[in-house]
A = this chain, B = another copy of it.
Amino acid sequence: MSATPSESALAQHIRHVALIDQHVHGCWLTAGDRRRFENALNEANTEPLADFDSGFDTQLGFAVRSHCAAILGMPKHVDPQQYWEARSRLTEVELARLFLPAAGVSNWLVDTGFGDEVTDVAQLSQLSGRPAYEVVRLEQVAVEAARAAGDYASEFEAILHRRAATAVGTKSVLAYRGGFDRDLSEPAAAQVAEAAQRWRDEGAARLTDPVLLRFGLHQGLRLGKPLQLHVGLGDRDCDLDKTNPLLLLDFLRTSGTTPIVLLHCYPYEREAGYLAQAFNNVYVDGGLSVNHLGARASAFIARLLELAPFRKILYSSDGYGPAELHFLGATLWRHGIHAVLAGFVAAGAR
């Protein structure tokens, strides 16, 4: 990350400023084949890629070849086969030791809510050489509470407070459990008890009960630490149209002062920016989207910079799996922010 002589002060600052990756997952620890890697370059599909499809045939695939090749000592835009071969010569741990520090991230805020075979918070910190902190998944707390012996609501609160003592925030995947187009008010205690009993009777697997989802959300609010919400882009298990953040308006109107962070947001980044202007406690983030948009990330970032007050636009990679994603998020964010701001400067200079 050394500056070239002719680089502007703006470019130098953006290149060197340390980023907080405020929503990220672990990276792989175990070896996998090329199909695993290529499937990790597709976000939306829940099935394996078709035999004749390649994860490289996407914006993200091109961005990997463009920006990650140098970290592996190869020229920009090396072809997919060569990229894969170079990657294969290293273990996932070795890859993490290369890519994580290269991201220029000062702190990792790690959503531990899903994923086996990936680094936990301590491992991510150790491999990157930087502090990492936990973000607690509310739907995971719900499962733990349902499997505990006592009253569901009390157990939920106890588990949340215990885990949150060392965590920096909470996260909800309500978007994946029915979406936002429903009542999101806080349920009464009796409703919660009844719904919890029903869920426990059914085995308390994946939480989809609307009452318990709402209960968890409001417990997160009450905790007061930043509450992250999955918004927009994700896999097809969620109905993308039911994750439009404007459907959160009633919820936000009663959300008080707990910071709420809208994650990902594609293709609703303009709506999310509106909400960041409309509510003192709402923040926006373009993680995941920036990686998958590759060369189009700067166009997306420009739209994030429309109505959102600037201080409320946060960085994250949402990296999960290949360590490339933890690095690439930061790289594309820096490139995009630079392209957009330099464009503003150029337009103003005319």
Contact = CB atoms under 8 A, between A and B. Distances in A.
Contact of A347 (B46, B240, B293, B339): B339
A253 interface: yes
A45 B347 contact: no
Interface stretch (A149-157, A212-220, A241-249): A241-249
A280 interface: yes
A77 B279 CA distance: 27
B309 A58 contact: yes
Interface in A249-295: 249, 253, 266-267, 270-271, 274-275, 277-280, 292-293, 295
A239 B235 contact: no
A202 interface: no
Nearest to A274: B44
A246 B218 CA distance: 29
A186 interface: no
A50 B50 CA distance: 51
Contacts of A47: 280
Contacts of A162: none
How many protomers of this protein does the assembly include? 3
Given A53-B280, A309-B53, A240 B348 contact: no
Contacts of A233: 274, 307
A236 to B, nearest CB: 4
A296 B239 CA distance: 30
A57 interface: yes
Contacts of A253: 236
A314 interface: no
Nearest to A77: B348
Interface stretch (A97-105, A131-139, A297-305): A297-305
Interface string A45-72: 1110110010001110010001000000
Given A240-B271, A266-B270, A298-B347, A49 B280 contact: yes
Contact of A241 (B247, B270, B293, B300): B247
Contact of A348 (B45, B59, B66): B66
A43 interface: yes
Contacts of A53: 280, 309, 311
A7 B102 CA distance: 38
A307 B59 contact: yes
A200 interface: no
Given A267-B271, A339-B347, 7 more contacts: A44-B278, A53-B311, A66-B348, A236-B249, A293-B307, A295-B347, A296-B302
Interface of A: 42-47, 49-50, 53, 57-59, 62, 66, 76-77, 233, 235-236, 239-241, 244, 246-247, 249, 253, 266-267, 270-271, 274-275, 277-280, 292-293, 295-296, 298-300, 302-303, 305-307, 309-311, 335, 339, 344, 347-348
Which 9 pairs of residues, A with B, have the shortest CB-CB distance?
A44-B278, A241-B246, A236-B278, A44-B277, A267-B270, A50-B280, A295-B344, A296-B306, A57-B309
